[in-house]
Structure 1
Amino acid sequence: MNPSRLRRPLAALVLSGTAAFLGAFGSAHAFSNPPIQVAQGIEYMCGGAARDEAAFMEMVSPRWAATIALGVSDGKGAQQGGFPAQAAVEIRQRYTGQLVMDVQTRSPYMLARLNPGAYDVNVTLGGLTLTQSLVVIAGVPARASFVWPSNFDMASVTPPLAQTLAQSSATAR
């Protein structure tokens, strides 16, 4: 029996199965991943405004040293969706106070590849700064959640709709 005759149908089966798998995977993930950026020599990624992107950020967060989650309480203990305002995220070494990272984000999730150590994370939104400690241990993902109170004036820090739409169309180009 000719062994090459058996390889052709097997190769066709593998290729058709792979194409079907990739097609199903591609249609389920129509959004593009948020870009990985670098600030002060540290890689980070911000995202999660859309439901698919939020699910992606939650899925990959265990592969990053630190996850910082931002939200505004709805007054019932739950967080509102999205994070429309720009927040300043500052990460300092806990014991020396040395600035490690200083970035701006409009996203409800920020993932960072911090070195193992103890940090103080300050997130400022509309003049109100929330602070939490974050301890990063090698191989163990760390997480800090910042939730502004329901009585926080989001309207004062959220840009008008026209400005938001103009910024969105400018970044899409």
Structure 2
Amino acid sequence: MNLMRLRQPMAALVLGGTAAFFGAMTTSAHAFSNPPIQMAQGVEYMCGGTSKDEAAFMQMVSPRWAATLEFGVNDSAQKSSFPARAAVQVRERYTGRPVMEAQSQGPYMLARLDPGAYDVNVTLGGLTLTQPLTVIAGAPARAVFMWPSNFDMASVLPPAPQTQALAHTSGVR
């Protein structure tokens, strides 16, 4: 029996199976793209968490950022409908000097703030919540902003696509 003839098909089978396995892994791994890193007043920040995969990514990388801000509604039924944008303002706690102003684009905002004491104001639908935030070098800081369950989320959510289509066609006769 010629062992060399048996090895070639076996090697092709093993290598082909390995390529298919790694091909499947890279396809699923690339289905999600990281949120972009942005700049506001010289401070790098990243927003996201609107999908399950993106939220898991934001939670995974948050320890590598100086500050994590999390936004939500104190009602589990409304948490999934958190609006895409809330106004975020970071000020030095003792001087009041503005450090960063940006719009969040999801329930998480990660920022590379310098070590220091800050007051963070987040405004959504006319209601501003304020939390203190102390950033220490090498230790990630976190502040959670929870709007009350009776907060009118409908007023700050974008209109449903169905409603937009009806509004757009209602003026045409």
- Measured in 2, the distance between the counterparts of 1:138 and 1:165 equals 47
> 2:50 corresponds to which letter in structure 1?
A
Equivalent AA in structure 2 for residue 118 of structure 1:
A
- 1: CA distance, partners of 2:38 / 2:63: 18
Q: Report what 1:136 is aligned to.
A: 135
Runs of 5+ consecutive residues of structure 2 not aligned to the other structure: 1-13, 166-173
- Higher-Rg structure is 2
Match of 2:25 in 1: 24
Partner-residue secondary structure (3-state), 2:119? strand
TM-score by length of 1: 0.77
Q: What root-mean-square deviation, in Å, do the aligned CA atoms of Structure 1 and Structure 2 show?
A: 2.7
Amino acid at match of 1:117: G
Matched with 1:38 is 39
| % identical equivalent positions | 70
Whole-angstrom CA distance in 1 between matches of 2:109 and 2:28: 25
| Aligned-partner Cα distance in 2 for 1:98–1:143 | 20
**Correspondence for 1:73:** 74
Paired residues, number: 151
The alpha-carbon deviation at position 157 of structure 1 amounts to 1.4
- Give structure 1 stretches of 5+ with no counterpart: 1-12, 167-173
- Amino acid paired to 2:36: P
Q: Cα offset for 1:98?
A: 0.3
Residue 162 of structure 1, CA deviation? 2.9
Tell me by how many angstroms 1:82 deviates.
4.6
Q: Distance in 1 between matches of 2:59 and 2:163?
A: 25
Q: Residue 26 and residue 58 in structure 1: after superposition, are their counterparts in 2 closer, same or farther (change >3 A)?
A: farther
Compared CA separation, residues 164 and 73, structure 1 to 2 (3 A) = farther
Maintained 8 Å contact 1:134/1:142: yes
Structure 1 counterpart of 2:117, which letter?
A
Partner deviation per Cα, 1:77-124 (whole Å, 9 max, x = no partner): x87125224210000000110000000123000000000000000000
The 2-side partners of 1:22 and 1:63 are apart by: 29
Cα separation, partners in 2 of 1:47 and 1:94, compared to 1, 3 Å: same
- In 2: Cα distance, 1:92 partner to 1:154 partner: 26
SS at match of 2:79: coil
